[in-house]
Chain A
Amino acid sequence: MTVSVGVLVNPIAGFGGTLAMHGTDELPAARFDEAVEANWAGHRMTLALDSFLRTGGEAEFVAVQGLLGATQLAAAGIHHRTLGSPPAIRRTTRADTIDAARRLLAEGVEVLLFAGGDGTATDIAEAIGTRMPVIGVPSGVKMHSEVFSRSPVGAGRLLADVILGRASSELAEVLDVGEGGFSGVVGMLLAPRSHEALQGAKTTTVGSGSSAARGIARELVAHSDNAVTWVIGPGTTAGAVGEELGFEPTLLGVDVVHPSGLVELDVDENHLFDVVSAAGHPQLVLGVVGGQGFLLGRGNQQLSTRVIDSIGVDRIHIVATAEKVSALFPPVLLLDVDTPSSLVGYRKVRTGSRNSTVMRVVDAAAQFESAQR
């Protein structure tokens, strides 16, 4: 059976990297053509599709007309179907990316392959959310989001696994600079995860991230009583506690569950401080942000030092899947906060219902200074 695969290329992605521009979000209009000429993302997409075509699987590629995919596929000689009109855009903007992703979704493609960075992932999350699985071909400058494969070849192989029915999808956090210039979790995508191929006789099976998160949530909720005021930080691992408590967490903001059962979504710092100051038994569930290992100061500025101190370190549960924390070396979690935090030091991190690890929580600025010395 032929699977319809949407292909989306950010034509200028990756250009900023070598120029130390930290991405192409702020690319001057005059340099747009130069970036298109470089065709970094188009090249990476071609690598991914070549890898897929070698692996096999019945797929029809669908791309929108012009620079957001069809041009690059045609140049690489890859057979595809083009969605025409509106006419091809000369200089694309993020609005065009969003529009293209929506058109591919409306066209009924079953999986979307895109080449770009965190900015492109953010636009796609805004456009289609979690309505279809998305594979990121790493082609940008910043690629902290969990939707990216480790290499273009890996993305191609993952696409083959999706088409052969060997993959299942999980929620993936999209990280980027959000409103107010703070970086953190800005959206969610549905990302396929392939079952790793056989590695050897002693291979162990690691439970999927979502089942570990559910295990942590069940354990935390089971060992609490009705007097607890729950504060649920951003991210899917912390969010699982919200689901266990019976509501749909915002995932991007901080949610509160009062002992009465009342749920307040996406509360701000001022209100949060009032809530935890008044609460008899506040408990904070705090996740770890993406591949950077940030605990505070990335998309969760609501959790200010005064909020943390009011809750108390002993009532803070740091949660993360083993997959996420084992990728952090050295095993350090970072705080980007203005005032000294009581969280600094070795802290227990829950990684499963009966499992935990220990991470060194440090002030990111201090960490940077010590690295400089």
Chain B
Amino acid sequence: MSTIRRYHAAAWDEAIVFELGAPGRRGVVPPASWAPPSTEPSFAPGLRRESPPALPELAEYEVRRHYTHLAQQTLGMMGVSLFGTCTMKHNPTVNEQVGARHEIAEVHPRQDPSTYQGVLGIVHSFEAELCNLSGMSAFSFQPGGGADAAYLHAVITRAYHASRGELAQRTQVVTTAQAHPCNPAAAVSAGFEVITLPIEEGGYPSVAALKAVIGPKTAALMLNNPDDMGIYNPHITEFIDAVHDVGGLAFYDNANFNGVMTRLRARELGFDACMFMLHKTFGAPKGGNGPSVGAYGCSEELARFLPGPRVVKNGEAYELVEPDGSVGRVREFLGNVPQVIKAYSWTRAMGTEGLRTAADISVLANNYMEKRLMAIRGVSMSLPGKALPRLEMTRYSLEEYRVETGLTGGDVQNRMTDFGIDAFWMSHEPWIVPEPFTPEAGEMWSKEDLDEWIDVLEHVLEEGRRDPELVRTSPHNQAVAQIDGSGLNDPETWAVTWAAYRRKHAQV
């Protein structure tokens, strides 16, 4: 085992920005306006607030210092992050510069389309590229993330069955226990009941279980493949055929596309619709729940239900049109267009061959990790020897280690951050593997990065054997210590804004 490097995060112990500064402090004091005062109020009286907002008052250097401190205290991408199911990869700087160009950053969606033909051309071209990668006939970039795309599918499922006069009858959506939870959640939000197929001995649900619950009530099948454990269901076409036979639609949540890029196409497997995460697989940034795009693709038959506006090419001009059977909107306008442009730039730079190489590397890197991790005492993997070899990620377990030491996966995760390793991804719920963890190497991280990640895990497990309290009370080298998560489920306690915090905790 190589030497573990020392690490310590910046810890500024700084108050939040609302508690900094003093009344009257300013960065810039603008000169008084020379324009004659307007006689017409800008806002209707009912829209005006009675008192000014309670904003912090700070000098410019204080603001810059504060946010520099916050940046220093943030772990993301400064260490190694193998956050499974999220496909962490570097977002090339050049694409940020492309996105910041005035032709993109300063476009307003209410401009006349003739004034931003270049942007529309990129959107149109990228739609064609995703159709090429998926075999679908049309894409919408409107959904603001994967869950939004799953919701769009649930809504389109409603519209499709309504158009055939079968909506009242088709009340059930079938999903699997290792599909992303946004699939059942989206289905329930759209008014469907959800039937979840469990994982069976082979590592995936059985066709027999599916056939036992589908029929005239079935509206759609929604699943991931490979699933959240990196397991590919080899009977996927039988699933799709069975659902089609009873009149349902099949939706492919391609969140785990990284290991199969250019190796399979959703439409060729038989799916009616699919979803790609531009902010994961396609190299556009994410984080802080920042702007994301769940690109939703569908067959020719479903395209008329897509949200508008859609970009179409008419001669040499790009135009915006409303599909005749559109379900309406799931977000504004064309969606997060700057993200689409960054994903377009990333995809064009990769090229088809590059995407194939990236897919192969991400599977190879996972296999490499699996080989090393399985040699570590206390680490076991889900369904060893049962399912097919894993693709881009593997679900492991620290249950043996917990039995040995009493330390949980959460304890180990905390301690790893003391070495500059981002907290690992455990598992979506419900956990079918105890004390789970799910690293995803992807194509970007170097072999040295993967080795460092594994070395730190091995080091922490040994530390826990020698000194369990050290691990249990970690992190010790981080910007913050362990936090008390007990209020997370209590609406009376949690607060995500300063105003809510003061209302709930200081009764202000």
Which A positions have Cβ atoms within 8 angstroms of B? 51, 54, 151-154, 161, 164, 166, 195-200, 202-206, 322-323, 325-326, 329-331, 345-348, 351, 354-360
Cβ of A331 and Cβ of B406 under 8 Å apart? no
Q: Which residue of the partner chain A has the closest CB to B180? A: A202
- Closest 6 A/B residue pairs (Cβ): A346-B212, A198-B485, A331-B198, A326-B430, A153-B406, A166-B486
| Interface members, chain B 469-502 (any A CB < 8 Å) | 469, 472, 483, 485-486, 488-489
CB-defined contacts of B194 to chain A, threshold 8 Å: 354-356
* Bound form: Cα–Cα A345–B472 in Å: 45
Cβ of B193 and Cβ of A204 under 8 Å apart? no
* Bound form: Cα–Cα A359–B184 in Å: 18
* Bound form: Cα–Cα A151–B434 in Å: 13
* Bound form: Cα–Cα A331–B203 in Å: 11
Cβ of A358 and Cβ of B410 under 8 Å apart? no
Option from A166, A204, A355 in Cβ contact (under 8 Å) with B428: A204
Cβ of A326 and Cβ of B428 under 8 Å apart? no
Cβ of B198 and Cβ of A346 under 8 Å apart? no
Q: Which residue of the partner chain B has the closest CB to A54? A: B469
Cβ of A346 and Cβ of B213 under 8 Å apart? yes
**Does B9 lie at the interface of the complex (its beta carbon under 8 Å from any beta carbon of A)?**
no
Cβ of B469 and Cβ of A204 under 8 Å apart? no
Option from A154, A198, A204, A325 in Cβ contact (under 8 Å) with B483: A198
* Bound form: Cα–Cα A184–B192 in Å: 35
Cβ of B425 and Cβ of A202 under 8 Å apart? yes
Q: List 5 A-B contacts (CB under 8 A).
A: A164-B486, A195-B486, A198-B410, A331-B200, A346-B213
Cβ of A358 and Cβ of B430 under 8 Å apart? no
Q: If the complex has contacts A151-B406, A346-B213, are A200 and B423 also in contact, measured as CB distance less than 8 A?
A: yes
Cβ of B429 and Cβ of A330 under 8 Å apart? no
* Bound form: Cα–Cα A347–B208 in Å: 11
Interface range on chain B: under 10, 10 to 19, 20 to 34, or 35 or more?
Answer: 35 or more
| Interface members, chain B 137-151 (any A CB < 8 Å) | none
CB-defined contacts of A331 to chain B, threshold 8 Å: 198-200
CB-defined contacts of B489 to chain A, threshold 8 Å: 195, 205
Cβ of A358 and Cβ of B212 under 8 Å apart? yes
CB-defined contacts of B469 to chain A, threshold 8 Å: 54
Interface contacts beyond A166-B486, A347-B212: sample of 16 additional A-B pairs, CB < 8 Å, sorted by A? A54-B472, A195-B486, A198-B488, A199-B426, A200-B413, A204-B429, A323-B430, A326-B177, A326-B430, A326-B432, A345-B212, A346-B208, A351-B196, A356-B194, A358-B197, A358-B212
Q: Which residue of the partner chain A has the closest CB to B205? A: A358
Distance to closest chain A CB from B205 (angstroms) = 8
CB-defined contacts of A360 to chain B, threshold 8 Å: 200, 209
**Does B201 lie at the interface of the complex (its beta carbon under 8 Å from any beta carbon of A)?**
yes
CB-defined contacts of A200 to chain B, threshold 8 Å: 413, 423, 425-426
* Bound form: Cα–Cα A149–B191 in Å: 37
CB-defined contacts of B195 to chain A, threshold 8 Å: 348, 355-358
CB-defined contacts of B431 to chain A, threshold 8 Å: 326
Cβ of B209 and Cβ of A348 under 8 Å apart? no
Q: If the complex has contacts A323-B430, A330-B201, are A195 and B485 also in contact, measured as CB distance less than 8 A?
A: yes
| Interface members, chain B 379-412 (any A CB < 8 Å) | 402-403, 406, 410
Distance to closest chain A CB from B100 (angstroms) = 27
Distance to closest chain B CB from A176 (angstroms) = 24
Q: State the total of A-B contacts with C-beta under 8 angstroms.
A: 97
- Interface flags, B71-110, vs A, CB<8A=1, else 0: 0000000000000010000000000000000000000000
**Does B133 lie at the interface of the complex (its beta carbon under 8 Å from any beta carbon of A)?**
no
**Does B181 lie at the interface of the complex (its beta carbon under 8 Å from any beta carbon of A)?**
yes
Distance to closest chain B CB from A211 (angstroms) = 12
Distance to closest chain A CB from B181 (angstroms) = 6
Cβ of A357 and Cβ of B198 under 8 Å apart? yes
* Bound form: Cα–Cα A360–B208 in Å: 10
Option from B85, B200, B413, B430 in Cβ contact (under 8 Å) with A206: B430
CB-defined contacts of A205 to chain B, threshold 8 Å: 488-489
| Interface members, chain B 171-210 (any A CB < 8 Å) | 177, 181, 184, 188, 192-201, 208-209
Q: Which residue of the partner chain A has the closest CB to B187? A: A354
CB-defined contacts of A329 to chain B, threshold 8 Å: 199, 432
Cβ of B188 and Cβ of A358 under 8 Å apart? no
Q: Is the interface of B mostly helix, strand, loop or mixed?
A: mixed
CB-defined contacts of B402 to chain A, threshold 8 Å: 151
Cβ of B410 and Cβ of A197 under 8 Å apart? yes
Q: Which residue of the partner chain B has the closest CB to A328? A: B198
Q: If the complex has contacts A326-B431, A354-B194, A357-B195, are A51 and B406 also in contact, measured as CB distance less than 8 A?
A: yes
* Bound form: Cα–Cα A161–B472 in Å: 16
Cβ of A357 and Cβ of B197 under 8 Å apart? yes
Q: Which residue of the partner chain B has the closest CB to A205? A: B489
Cβ of B188 and Cβ of A354 under 8 Å apart? yes
Distance to closest chain A CB from B378 (angstroms) = 15
* Bound form: Cα–Cα A119–B209 in Å: 37
* Bound form: Cα–Cα A209–B201 in Å: 26
Q: If the complex has contacts A151-B406, A204-B428, are A348 and B188 also in contact, measured as CB distance less than 8 A?
A: no
* Bound form: Cα–Cα A205–B431 in Å: 12
Cβ of B193 and Cβ of A354 under 8 Å apart? yes
| Interface members, chain B 426-468 (any A CB < 8 Å) | 426, 428-432
Cβ of B193 and Cβ of A359 under 8 Å apart? no
CB-defined contacts of B423 to chain A, threshold 8 Å: 200
CB-defined contacts of A346 to chain B, threshold 8 Å: 208-209, 211-213
CB-defined contacts of A348 to chain B, threshold 8 Å: 195, 212-213
Distance to closest chain B CB from A1 (angstroms) = 17
CB-defined contacts of B197 to chain A, threshold 8 Å: 357-358
CB-defined contacts of B413 to chain A, threshold 8 Å: 199-200
Distance to closest chain B CB from A208 (angstroms) = 9
CB-defined contacts of A356 to chain B, threshold 8 Å: 193-196
CB-defined contacts of B485 to chain A, threshold 8 Å: 195-198
Cβ of B488 and Cβ of A357 under 8 Å apart? no
Q: If the complex has contacts A198-B483, A204-B428, A348-B195, are A355 and B188 also in contact, measured as CB distance less than 8 A?
A: yes
CB-defined contacts of A204 to chain B, threshold 8 Å: 181, 428-429
CB-defined contacts of A345 to chain B, threshold 8 Å: 212
Q: Which residue of the partner chain A has the closest CB to B431? A: A326
* Bound form: Cα–Cα A325–B197 in Å: 12
* Bound form: Cα–Cα A323–B431 in Å: 9
CB-defined contacts of B198 to chain A, threshold 8 Å: 325-326, 331, 357-359
Distance to closest chain B CB from A153 (angstroms) = 4
Q: Which residue of the partner chain B has the closest CB to A206? A: B429
* Bound form: Cα–Cα A202–B182 in Å: 11
* Bound form: Cα–Cα A359–B194 in Å: 15
User: Which of A195, A197, A351 gathers most chain B CB within 10 Å?
Assistant: A197
User: Which of B197, B200, B431, B486 gathers most chain A CB within 10 Å?
Assistant: B486
CB-defined contacts of A164 to chain B, threshold 8 Å: 486
Distance to closest chain A CB from B474 (angstroms) = 13
* Bound form: Cα–Cα A359–B343 in Å: 42
Distance to closest chain A CB from B405 (angstroms) = 9
Distance to closest chain A CB from B161 (angstroms) = 18
Q: Which residue of the partner chain A has the closest CB to B196? A: A357
* Bound form: Cα–Cα A108–B194 in Å: 46
Cβ of A358 and Cβ of B403 under 8 Å apart? no
Distance to closest chain B CB from A323 (angstroms) = 7
Distance to closest chain A CB from B8 (angstroms) = 22
CB-defined contacts of A197 to chain B, threshold 8 Å: 410, 485-486
Distance to closest chain A CB from B74 (angstroms) = 13
